Amino acid sequence: AQSVTQPDIHITVSEGASLELRCNYSYGATPYLFWYVQSPGQGLQLLLKYFSGDTLVQGIKGFEAEFKRSQSSFNLRKPSVHWSDAAEYFCAANPGAGGTSYGKLTFGQGTILTVHP
Amino acid sequence: DGGITQSPKYLFRKEGQNVTLSCEQNLNHDAMYWYRQDPGQGLRLIYYSQIVNDFQKGDIAEGYSVSREKKESFPLTVTSAQKNPTAFYLCASSPVVTGTDTQYFGPGTRLTVL
């Protein structure tokens, strides 16, 4: 079955430290991949997305993600975290072009990020 | 400003009552979606619609119903058949239903069934 896994439920970092949030996917072929961020009680905002090409993707708010086919991973990174980055982060995937389920996003369980001053 | 509005932000209902959640978008998007969010479970797709007067079940459609009579509106009814309706409900839209289109999310409605 197609799935997206975020192994870390909760991560705590100090402000100014680097950040890496993990995401692994299980699909027959390489899916399209997304990272979203959600502030408490709010909707989701897209940070970045990967379809093909360059495996290092730049997003908004200084975030980047690297696609690694050999590891079925799409980890989110930020070199220096700000207190305003505290939120919940979701990795998501869809099967890509073609088929009956294209466009349907499957989400990971989410990772809550806490930032200490 | 273009965007997606969901109303109300908080909704309380008694057990056994049907309740309808509103979702409106002025982005001129063809596709619209409803997700349910529970703590630690991410988002799960309830229904989606690619075009007016057409919609498909998602992964957890039981106990829910939708309609798509207008392009900009996609209301969700939580029926009394839904066993555990208390959750955060998110509506989204995208230009069309393709793999590459970004889904844009509304602010959500938190439903509590007493």
Whether A101 and chain B come into contact, CB under 8 Å, resolves to: no
**Is B99 within 8 Å of A32 when comparing Cβ atoms?**
yes
Does residue B85 belong to the interface with chain A, where contact is any CB pair within 8 Å? no
Greater confidence (A1 vs B95) lies with B95
The neighbouring-strand residues paired with A91 are A35
Per-residue confidence band for A97, with pLDDT thresholds at 50, 70 and 90: low
Band of residue B99 on the pLDDT scale cut at 50, 70, 90: low
**Measured between beta carbons, which residues in chain A are less than 8 angstroms from residue B90?**
43-44
pLDDT of residue B96: 75
The pLDDT tens digits of the residues spanning A33-55 come to 999 999 988 889 999 999 888 99
Dihedral (C-alpha) A45, A49, A55, A57: value to the nearest 10 degrees? -40
Cβ–Cβ below 8 Å for A45 and B105: yes
| pLDDT at position B101 | 75
Interval A77-94: pLDDT, tens: 999 999 999 999 999 998
A112 interfacial to chain B (CB closer than 8 Å)? no
Which one has a higher pLDDT value, A25 or A99?
A: A25
- Shortest CA distance from A40: residue in chain B: B107
Whether A51 contacts chain B with CB within 8 A:
yes
Query: What pLDDT does residue B40 have?
Result: 80
How many Å lie between the alpha carbon of B29 and the closest alpha carbon of chain A? 14
Residue A66 is encoded by which pair of tokens?
Answer: 């690297």
Give the mean pLDDT of B75-87.
93
Nearest by CB to A43, which of B45, B98, B106?
B106
| Residues of chain B contacting A42 with CB distance shorter than 8 Å | 107-108
Q: Is the pLDDT of residue B39 over 90?
A: no
CA angle B22, A94, A32 (to 5 degrees): 125
Residue A27 or B62, more confident: B62
Contacts of B38 (CB under 8 A, 6+ apart): B44, B87, B88
Q: How confident is the model at residue A12 (pLDDT cuts 50, 70, 90)?
A: very high
Of B104, B59, B110, the C-alpha closest to B88 is B110
* H or E element that contains B56: strand B54-57
Give pLDDT tens digits for B18-31: 999 999 999 999 99
